[in-house]
Amino acid sequence: MLHFPVLLEESVDFLLNDVNGHYIDCTFGRGGHSKLILEKLSKDGLLTGIDKDPDACEYAMKFQNDNFKIINDSFNNIEKYFKEESISGILYDLGTCSTHLDQPERGFSFNKDGPLDMRFNNKIGIPFSVWLENASEEQIRDILYKYGDEKHAKLISNAIVKSKIKNKITTTTQLSNIIKDIHPEKNKKIHPATKSFQAFRIFINNELEEFAESLKAAEKLLKLGGYIVTIAFHSLEDNIIKNFFKPSLVSFPKDIPINNKEEKKFKCIAKKVRASKDETNINPRSRSAIMRVFQKI
């Protein structure tokens, strides 16, 4: 199973502003970014990796660096582990790790048959199949609209409900085939189930809400002058990033003769950085990646 960390050199170059600093890789995955960060840190620098996936944390045990540790938790809980304004840089490489898609038993891939699970931490919560068994057509449709921007959500949710009345939907290929069979755009290059699987994965892992919470915590933990590097793979993630880092408007009562002003907590250092052609040829997944870099001021 190969995992190619996206925008590796670019993200780490922006992130490391002090080789003696303390950094957090909020999405450790298979440690691609962490490995390069550790190569560039001095012996006094520190790196903490965080991942809610127990498999990722087990993989992190291969890292023998004295200045590295791994935490098995969601990144929305980072405030529990660090002091305010103690961190030099924080990295988010969002979405699913490519190794998840390579492991049928994890239930992320519509191309490989496996149990319909989709949880990043399969020791907490319920598999997606269990949720789906009890979900209404309206609930399914709303998730497809909200997290997948699936314009055929009504058609797909109706087909899913009709199918699960006859047989329980417990595998990835069952769900994938239901969507493929009724999808009006089945002849396009993109698999008809792509948006649906994205939507269901985001929902069952509470991805967007946890990311928004994590950014609030990251703001408190970051030192002045420190950097936050984000790599997003779809507009839902990227919109959270843009909205969080845009200047807030400070308004005054009408009877006070002072104009409203913008309050900036971060400076945008890099905006909408894309993977190179060489990288997208090696790793097609990187085509959709958007990197943004912000400095706390």
- Confidence check: pLDDT of 193 > 80: yes
Banded pLDDT at 4 (limits 50, 70, 90):
confident
Alpha helices in 111-193 (DSSP H): 128-134, 137-148, 153-166, 172-182
Q: How far apart are CA 193 and CA 175, in angstroms?
A: 8
Ranges in the chain annotated CATH 3.40.50.150 = 8-98+207-296
Per residue in 251-285, pLDDT tens?
A: 656 666 666 667 899 999 999 999 999 999 998 88
Q: For 92, phi and psi rounded to 5 degrees? A: -125, 115
- Residue whose tokens read 């999405």: 27
- Residue whose tokens read 């900036």: 264
Q: Which CATH superfamily is domain 121-204 in?
A: Putative methyltransferase TM0872, insert domain (1.10.150.170)
C-alpha angle 127/1/235, rounded to 5°? 60
Q: 18: which residues sit within 8 A by CB, 6+ positions away?
A: 45, 88
H or E element in which residue 22 lies? strand 22-25
| pLDDT for 250 | 62
| pLDDT for 165 | 95
- The arrangement of secondary structure in 8-98+207-296, i.e. its CATH architecture, is 3-Layer(aba) Sandwich (3.40)
- Residue whose tokens read 């308004």: 251
Q: Give pTM, 2 decimals.
A: 0.91
SS3 category, 37? helix
Are 158 and 173 in contact by the 8 Å Cβ rule? The answer is no
Which of 47-56, 177-186, 212-221 is the least confident region? 177-186
Instruction: Please give the share of the chain, as a percent, with pLDDT higher than 90.
Output: 86
Ranges in the chain annotated CATH 1.10.150.170 = 121-204
In the chain, helix, strand, coil percent, each to 5? 45, 20, 35
What is the CA 71 to chain-centroid distance, rounded?
17
- Confidence check: pLDDT of 1 > 60: no
